[in-house]
Each structure stands twice: as C-alpha cells, then as structure tokens.
A and B are shown apart, each in its own frame.
Chain A
C-alpha cells in the first residue's frame, strides 16, 4: 500500500483556476469512487472539501470540484482566492477496509 502521488506544489494568481492531481493505482483510485480531498491550514484541523470523487459537503464553496479518470483523481479550485492557500490531501479507499492518503500539495496564491 503506497501513498498516492500528488505534486508538491501548485500556484496560481487570484481568480485563476488550478488543478491538483492525485495518482494512485488500479487497486485504489482506479477501482473505487471513494476519493476524498482535504484542505489543511497549518495548526488547524483538516477540512473535508470533496468526497466520493466529486461530491461537496454542505458549506463548501462550489469553486471546489473533483473528478477522476482512470487511476488519477483531480481537485480543481476555480476563482482562486487568498484563503485557498493551504495544503491539500487526497485520500482513497484501497480495498480490504483500508485507506491511503496522498503526500499533499501546497497551494500558493501568488
């Protein structure tokens, strides 16, 4: 069970759109529509942003969207805002009642 692969960093200017990829294998991301995304500001509790690949919890801005193609899931942030600057982690069900996280992506708003 290896960690999902995310880019270390992604940046964009206010108002732009960015996409964070999350690459797994046919044993996790590719086999289940059970990918979730979390936003983490240092020192705070991680926050659920997307679940089941593309569903948004109540209260999460519709600027955040998720998708999946094959073994890669993606999180897109549109209309980038200063408050979106944080670390983002993907997570996938990996079978046999286990979970695997990604290494995290630092989003910088230029």
Chain B
C-alpha cells in the first residue's frame, strides 16, 4: 500500500532552517516514472507549490522561494527532504509531500501533511 509520510520538527524559531523529510513506502522513489514534490498551505490560505525533485537529483523550485529552498533525495532510504532557510512567521504552514507524474504536471498521491509553526 502506497504511503507518503512527512516528518520533522513542528516548531522552528525565526531565522532558523526548517527541515522536513518525506518517506515513501509501497514503492521505489527511484522510479523513472515519478517526481517528488513539496507543497504547503499557510493557515486559512490556499496551496503553494514549493518544488519538485527527480530521483537523479534534478530539482525545480518555485521562483518566489528558490533562494531559500533546497530539496534533496536519498534513494537508499526511499526519502526526499525539504530545507527552507531564514524562516519567518509567514512560513508557518501545513507542509505536504506528494508524488508527481513524470512528463506531466499533477500530483497523483499526497501525504497527510505536517504542521510547522515558526515562533520563538
């Protein structure tokens, strides 16, 4: 059974780096077919695409976040990760990881999301 599970600290201090990991189970993250992505939803707001990564390490980022975002993949652990630096309260959100169909631009499978609050 397919599962995407986000994990990481639920509380991050302003100016620090937010770090999350997404573990994929029920399949291989090294599949040629899929990309892997991060999406977030601030409280009371809509979804915002953060970026995508292929198993080879190729990345695509939202231009508005690109200077602060790093997405990486660890195929040995079937995981991919998100780092967002210099966070502020505006980065408080539910963060989702998801699977994107390669050659297309939609997410066919999502994790349940994890809330990250930026506060001192």
Contact = CB atoms under 8 A, between A and B. Distances in A.
Interface of A: 1, 3, 6, 32, 34, 36, 38, 43-48, 51-52, 57, 89, 91-93, 96-104
Contacts of B110: 45-47
B106 A91 contact: yes
**Number of contact residues on B: which range applies?**
20 to 34
Nearest to B110: A45
B47 A98 contact: no
| Interface secondary structure of A, over-half rule | loop
A102 B46 CA distance: 7
Contacts of A89: 46-47
Nearest to B101: A51
B2 to A, nearest CB: 11
B63 A36 contact: no
A97 B61 CA distance: 8
Contacts of A101: 39, 46-49
A8 to B, nearest CB: 10
A57 B112 contact: no
Interface string B102-120: 0011111111110000000
Contacts of A46: 47, 96, 98, 107, 110
Nearest to B107: A48
B87 to A, nearest CB: 20
Interface string B41-67: 000011111001000000010111000
B52 to A, nearest CB: 8
Given A45-B112, A89-B46, A89-B47, A97 B107 contact: no
